[in-house]
Amino acid sequence: MSHAVIFGGTGLIGRAAARRLLAIGWEVTTVGRERSRMPEDVAAAGGRFVAADRADPDRLAAALGAGADLVVDCLCFTAVHARDLLPLLGDVGSTVMISSKAVYVDGAGNHVNSAVAPDFGGPVRESQPTMAPREDIDYRTRDGYGANKVAAERVLLDSGHPVTVLRPSKVHGDGAAKPCEWVFVKRVLDRREVVFLSRGGSGVDHPSAAANVAALIETAANNPGRRVLNSADPDAPGALEISRIVAGHLGHRWEEVLLDDRAPAGLGLHPWDRLPGIRLDMTAAGRLGYRPAGDYLGTVTAELDWLVSADQPSEFDHDYFAPMLNYAVEDEYLAAG
């Protein structure tokens, strides 16, 4: 029986990968800090949990044991993380590192976390230039995240081991720590009768279902090698379409207010407010034999059902979403006529 070890196995991508591999008969070890985050269905399907901190190389080695056919690292953010992983890969058949589209830069050097929005001029291929690798800046900062990811990628790709680097976009699925769809789900739960969308809802930021990332992980496991692959859904719906998908699935109707540049600042904000839009080219993954688990509509419903059934949905009401859920500003705009 093939064996996979998933670092960060209780997180968004890790749990999706565990489900996918368990369903096709793999033995799966999920590694995380808190057993309480282990999904019940993963445990019921035979998933094994090992407690370990990603920053502790000795615990990672103990979790890996005698080796594995596949290692999936969902928590490799820096070159240090990558170097800690290298001594473990001698007894691993294939390794998948989860990176990010945040590594890409346009012709002017802008990236997704820049003050100026990047313009890639079309779907982004894996050959698109990336940020320069950095190890001297905190990966938790806007300029440090992508640069540290590039540094980690290079350590692993230059190691000689069969490592596949996946670069997903806006990941969605149950278990998300910051589920973008919450912006619209929260409105449904609050029975809001109007949804405001900046720039007419035309913004696009390519979604990546965790289930589709998991499908590509399986493809990479079956085809060991050194490569970089984009990982995104087969479609890239705009914000207006996403708002309609969420409302429709949850049986809610609202009036759509499609704002233009004359709208007050801060009105109609949402996570897909990207112009020029960002789309990832999936040709390379397709050539490897990858087939997606589904399109956005077919894969996002699991997250939506999870969000409305959450015991404490208020846990998502943090600072990231607050400007996008400013009902007072919306009500004032409506009252002004």
Q: How far apart are CA 215 and CA 104, in angstroms?
A: 23
Q: How far is CA 167 from the centre of its chain?
A: 9
| Cα distance from N-terminal residue to C-terminal residue, the chain | 66
CA-wise closest residue to 279 among 128, 78, 159: 128
Q: How far apart are CA 35 and CA 296, in angstroms?
A: 30
Question: 144-161: per-residue pLDDT in tens?
Answer: 999 999 999 999 999 999
pLDDT at 317 over 70: no
pLDDT at 311 over 60: no
Question: 249-289: per-residue pLDDT in tens?
Answer: 999 999 999 999 899 988 999 999 999 999 999 999 999 99
Split at pLDDT 50, 70, 90, the class of 310 is low
Question: 71-80: per-residue pLDDT in tens?
Answer: 999 999 999 9
Instruction: Identify whether 276 is preceded by a cis peptide bond (ω within 30 of 0).
Output: yes
CA-wise closest residue to 200 among 254, 274, 258, 256: 258
Q: Kindly list the distances between the CA atom of residue 46 and the CA atoms of 18, 30, 62, 241, in Å, as whole numbers in the listed order.
A: 10, 11, 20, 38
Split at pLDDT 50, 70, 90, the class of 319 is confident
% of the chain exceeding 70 in pLDDT: 98
The H or E element containing residue 15 is: helix 12-23
Torsions phi, psi for 69 (to 5 deg): -75, -30
- Do 7 and 54 touch, CB atoms closer than 8 A? yes
The position carrying tokens 């959450």 is 310
Q: How far apart are CA 104 and CA 113, in angstroms?
A: 10
157: its two tokens: 């790709």
Estimate the crossing angle of helix 12-23 against helix 210-222, to 10 degrees. 50
197: its two tokens: 């969308």
Torsions phi, psi for 259 (to 5 deg): -80, 155
Q: How far apart are CA 164 and CA 186, in angstroms?
A: 36
pLDDT at 313 over 60: no
Split at pLDDT 50, 70, 90, the class of 13 is very high
Strands (DSSP E) found in the chain: 3-7, 27-32, 48-51, 68-73, 92-98, 163-168, 170-172, 194-197, 207-209, 227-231, 255-258
Q: How far apart are CA 86 and CA 302, in angstroms?
A: 35
Question: 80-122: per-residue pLDDT in tens?
Answer: 999 999 999 999 999 999 999 999 999 999 999 999 999 999 9
- Do 32 and 63 touch, CB atoms closer than 8 A? no
- Do 17 and 217 touch, CB atoms closer than 8 A? yes
pTM: 0.97
Question: 162-197: per-residue pLDDT in tens?
Answer: 999 999 999 999 999 899 999 999 999 999 999 999
- DSSP structural state of residue 44: H
Q: How far apart are CA 296 and CA 241, in angstroms?
A: 10
The H or E element containing residue 131 is: none
Mean predicted lDDT score pLDDT of the chain: 95
Q: How far apart are CA 281 and CA 125, in angstroms?
A: 5
